[in-house]
Structure 1
Amino acid sequence: MGVIIFWDHQAPDGIQLPVARMISQILDMPVEVRESPILLRGFNRQRNQHNARAILDDIQDKYTRVNGTEESLLLVVAADLCIPERDFLFGLAREAINTAIISTARLGNGYYGRLHHDDDIIDRVVKEGAHEIGHLFGLAHCDEPECIMFLPETLDDLDRKKKMLCPLCREHLADRRDRRKTAGTAPAADREYL
């Protein structure tokens, strides 16, 4: 039991391995990166964004039902993501299908007129990826601003987070992981998290 990261061909290249290693260290579980087999759907022309829920629905319909994987899935895309009730989002997780998606569109410095630096994008993809995977294991948002499970509303919020879980979230993750190992299945809760 571990995590499979599907890396979209338009997402930043050359950072996959450091991202996978760091997420593995933070969550203490194996992480494997694969080229994404998912075609992005749910494009909203008026917003020039993809609906993250439509993409998760598509993954459920076309991948998880067919392949029946027990691993948690994280899709990393370059496309800007939204849901109807929010202008944008860094990522979205759906616990019931054990799948999450994150976008690199607003994680890079260029979007904000800042100088590009590979370390910044790696750091942010790691934090947001680990955050969404944490939700797949039933972790809720944390009030501790430095915890991976804190909900960032801005890039500065994301940058303030450390690449670690607070002690309480680490304990909850270990408990959820142990429960999943003994049960042998992914969670059935029908929850969605930003």
Structure 2
Amino acid sequence: MKRLVRFAVILFFMSACIGGGRNLQAGDDDPLVPWSALAGTDTGSLLITWLGDEARRYLTGSRERTALPASLPGFYGRLGLFITMMKDGRVRGCYGSFFHDSDDAAAVLRTYLHGALRHDMRNDPLGIEELGETRIILTVTTQPFHADDIETVDIAHYGVIVLTAGGEQHVFVPAEMKTHEYLRKRLKDVPIQSVQAFRAVTIK
């Protein structure tokens, strides 16, 4: 069955896909390393510019497709990808997955970009006139692993998945989380059953 991409941060129906992750330790073949090297570079900036151009084309209905500005490190089968739209200091859309339907980076990023623009139902869809004031952030993640407590997670470098007693999953990427207090407010009155974390590299 084709894996369905679901909303990040809101209900995330991929419980069969998120088990078994672990924290990569020094000496492992860490697939995040080349992505970390990309963050803060001209290539990383060009990638975010490309996403912005793709967002504008999508919102105007253009069918034009352009190639990625550079070859990207590997991700398929090992890393998650999430795209977050930030405007005026708050999330206006977030979409992605830990598993992907393709190893075509451009196609996968377009799919998640379109999802962040139009399919995160927590927020009103971004208008094209808002793009100039919107930051696009790409988060690259490891697979999730067990965490004992949200309060012990370094949210500057790790994302969080919360499984509720009702079987719902809430995914938070570092780009959204500013403090643990933010998480406490978002999860107020939510019956938490278990917590997972994932290491993340943020490109913005």
Q: Same fold (TM over 0.5)?
A: no
Higher helix fraction: Structure 1 or Structure 2? 1
Q: Which has the higher contact order (CA 8 A, sep 6+)?
A: 2
Please state which structure has a larger fraction of its residues in strand: 2
* Band of TM-score, shorter chain: under 0.3
Structure 2 length as normaliser, TM-score? Answer: 0.27
